Structure 1
Amino acid sequence: MGVVVDPAVPPEIAGLLRANGPLLARIRAGWVPPAALPVPVRRRNSSSVALLAVTPLVIALMAVLLESPAAPAGFLLLGGFVFVVLVKIASISEVPEDDRSHERALYEKARLHDGRYLIPHDFDEEAAAVLRRAQLAIGAVLRSHVNAEGLLDGARNAIMLPEQEWEIARLLAKLSALRTEHREMLARGLAPEAAAVARPLQSALDSSEAAVVARVEALERYAGHVAEAERAYHARDQIEELRASLPRYEELLAESGAGTMAVAEIERLAEDADTVERTLRRSVTSAHEAFRYLEG
């Protein structure tokens, strides 16, 4: 289970958020990345090249000065050069510029879209398990061949199922937060009067969880109908391949004089193809009905 993003967030930003779950967790915990370097500072590499270029000249000049009566000037030049090198080293950023820019960009996007994405830390163990069930069901539908081939309503699936995932995740995150608070309160111990008030709160949590689970179960039923249609879809393709080769088998049987022995089997294959076709249509119809229930 990764980062869940509101489908209303632009796709490029949603992709950035989903790809950076660990950094989002650090940002949520209060971490602030260093600011991006200003443009003039980013061109500091040119000064490094210049420093490298003059180094041999400085060394040669120092050697001449140190061998001459002007040795103090040589030591002064050496000290000044070392100072410049040390300043240059100290000015080098500890964070690579690309990393700094990426982290800062993510930080700004995370702040801008706060409340429109959820990270694994937002879910307790029970909620995470329920969300995984929903994601598995949604993934099974969206990756199916019957959806890709247009036997289902692919456009509506592409819009509605991510919306279902976000709504389920949003509710589970709220449930997790309230459930954690409630458990911590109970762990501290309650007076009898407070315990009487807390019991309806626990019932509210249980009822909310049951409602969310019911949504997930509806998704799972839909995915089950799609899986049945998927099996029938593949079986139909396989049977069509077999039917395409029937003339060759019939020719072989006729030439070998064994035609009467296999006529029934050949006829049964044709009947199987019709049965699978009806199963596929029935499965797709059931999937459409389950989808309408989700919309309900």
Structure 2
Amino acid sequence: MSEDVIRPRPVVDTTLPEELREDLLREAVAPESRHARDDGQAASRALRLREGGVQLLGVGFTLVLALLTAGWYLGMVIVSIGLIAYVGALAVRKEADPLVRAVGGAIGAGAFAAAPLWLFDLLPQDPPGGVPWLLFGLLVGLVTADTLTAQVPETPEEHHRDRVLLPDDISAADHGLLVAVQQTIDRVTDARVELGSSDTLDTARGLSVLREQEWRIASLLARQRELRRGYVRRWQQASSPRVREVLRPQREHLTAVEGHIRARVDQIVEYGRLVDESVLAHREWEQCQEALAATDDYADLRAEASLMSLPSPEVADLADTAEVARRVRDDSVARVHAATTGLAELPEH
């Protein structure tokens, strides 16, 4: 039997809320989504860079047209609006770096505070022609810093990674133990469906206990895998028999742990066997009840059919009539036959 055949399912910590457990389990059984998300982080950063570039291109192109056609006044309006709008969007984005958000807020506040000075001609003279480009340079710096420092929000699956155990977290030699537990869970789940309202096994509680046992066993197997790897590494690197003698208690502990886990798994498997026998007995009881309920119909049919064993007066009368008719026809045939025979025996003249 190949390893894939007995590969266990991922196991999620039973102390987590049910909805979160289901989400984590779906994520765990679909590894391609994790790879897609890892690739998507780089793709999202590149997407933000492209979006920022498009925004800068739009503001810069509009700024150039404004400076060439209407002068610095319209250019200041355009670049100030673009800068303040980006700072406002930066303030509400959770993935933005706090330092970039603070610097952007200071720049936006400064641009907003300085706007009335040139907007209402409060300055003694027009600002230098390079001021719009200075604001545009600040906008370029903000967009670049935000793109490079923004963090991709952590998903619940990543946050609770230590609460999910994958098959690779457990030694392949121990997969069979976890599979035996999961097969028992599947049996109890099927039994709950089949028993329905007649669930005398309390399968709801049984499933709760089994899933808790599944998590505990999977956790022990995962820790055993790590400790076994450390033991094997130290054993292989041991420079003398005395070092290996010091390692002997570790091997004994690992052997005892495996025995304890196997004993619990055997107990769980035995429970699954008893559940199967209970379901079989329930199925037999249902079939017997169904057979007993239908027996009355068979008895009624037999009682009704038993009347057929008695002679029917109507059929007897029909038989007598048929017998009389037969005899009449036989007599007629006999007379015709006799007459025909007599004609044949007349002498010829």
TM norm structure 1: 0.57
Instruction: Name the counterpart of 1:118.
Output: 165
For 2:271 and 2:300, locate their aligned partners in 1 and report how far apart those are by CA, in whole Å. Answer: 45
**What letter matches 1:120 in structure 2?**
P
Q: How does 1:252-263 map onto structure 2 within 5 Å?
A: 252-257=301-306
For 2:189 and 2:242, locate their aligned partners in 1 and report how far apart those are by CA, in whole Å. Answer: 51
Q: How does 1:1-296 map onto structure 2 within 5 Å?
A: 1-21=8-28, 34=41, 37=44, 108-144=155-191, 145-146=194-195, 149-188=198-237, 190-257=239-306
Counterparts in 2 of 1:247 and 1:148: CA distance versus 1, 3 Å? closer
Contact 1:138/1:219 (CA < 8 Å) preserved in 2? no
For 1:22 and 1:257, locate their aligned partners in 2 and report how far apart those are by CA, in whole Å. Answer: 65
Counterparts in 2 of 1:23 and 1:230: CA distance versus 1, 3 Å? closer
For 1:175 and 1:148, locate their aligned partners in 2 and report how far apart those are by CA, in whole Å. Answer: 41
Contact 1:25/1:119 (CA < 8 Å) preserved in 2? no
RMSD: 3.6
Contact 1:7/1:163 (CA < 8 Å) preserved in 2? yes
For 1:137 and 1:146, locate their aligned partners in 2 and report how far apart those are by CA, in whole Å. Answer: 16
Contact 2:14/2:215 (CA < 8 Å) preserved in 1? yes
**What letter matches 1:240 in structure 2?**
Q
For 2:248 and 2:33, locate their aligned partners in 1 and report how far apart those are by CA, in whole Å. Answer: 35
Contact 2:10/2:29 (CA < 8 Å) preserved in 1? no
Paired-residue identity, %: 27
Counterparts in 2 of 1:111 and 1:202: CA distance versus 1, 3 Å? same
For 2:302 and 2:195, locate their aligned partners in 1 and report how far apart those are by CA, in whole Å. Answer: 36
Q: Give the SS at the match of 1:20.
A: helix
Q: Give the SS at the match of 2:155.
A: helix
1:56-103 deviations in Å (ceiling 9; x for gaps): xxxxxxxxxxxxxxxxxxxxxxxxxxxxxxxxxxxxxxxxxxxxxxxx
For 2:41 and 2:157, locate their aligned partners in 1 and report how far apart those are by CA, in whole Å. Answer: 15
Instruction: Name the counterpart of 1:291.
Output: none
Contact 2:27/2:34 (CA < 8 Å) preserved in 1? no
For 2:49 and 2:208, locate their aligned partners in 1 and report how far apart those are by CA, in whole Å. Answer: 43
Counterparts in 2 of 1:23 and 1:250: CA distance versus 1, 3 Å? closer
For 2:245 and 2:34, locate their aligned partners in 1 and report how far apart those are by CA, in whole Å. Answer: 39
Greater mean alpha carbon deviation, residues 246-255 or residues 145-154: 145-154
Counterparts in 2 of 1:141 and 1:42: CA distance versus 1, 3 Å? farther
Larger radius of gyration: 2
For 2:15 and 2:244, locate their aligned partners in 1 and report how far apart those are by CA, in whole Å. Answer: 41
For 2:185 and 2:216, locate their aligned partners in 1 and report how far apart those are by CA, in whole Å. Answer: 13
Residue ranges of structure 1 left out of the alignment (5+ in a row): 52-103, 259-296
For 1:8 and 1:110, locate their aligned partners in 2 and report how far apart those are by CA, in whole Å. Answer: 15
TM-superposed deviation, 1:6: 0.4
Counterparts in 2 of 1:209 and 1:32: CA distance versus 1, 3 Å? farther
For 2:253 and 2:161, locate their aligned partners in 1 and report how far apart those are by CA, in whole Å. Answer: 27
Greater mean alpha carbon deviation, residues 186-195 or residues 213-222: 186-195
Number of equivalent positions: 199
Q: Give the SS at the match of 1:151.
A: coil
Counterparts in 2 of 1:135 and 1:42: CA distance versus 1, 3 Å? farther
For 2:285 and 2:49, locate their aligned partners in 1 and report how far apart those are by CA, in whole Å. Answer: 62
Contact 2:188/2:203 (CA < 8 Å) preserved in 1? no
Contact 1:148/1:154 (CA < 8 Å) preserved in 2? no
1:222-279 deviations in Å (ceiling 9; x for gaps): 1111111100111111111211111121123334449xxxxxxxxxxxxxxxxxxxxx
Contact 1:146/1:229 (CA < 8 Å) preserved in 2? no
Instruction: Name the counterpart of 1:56.
Output: none
Instruction: Name the counterpart of 1:265.
Output: none
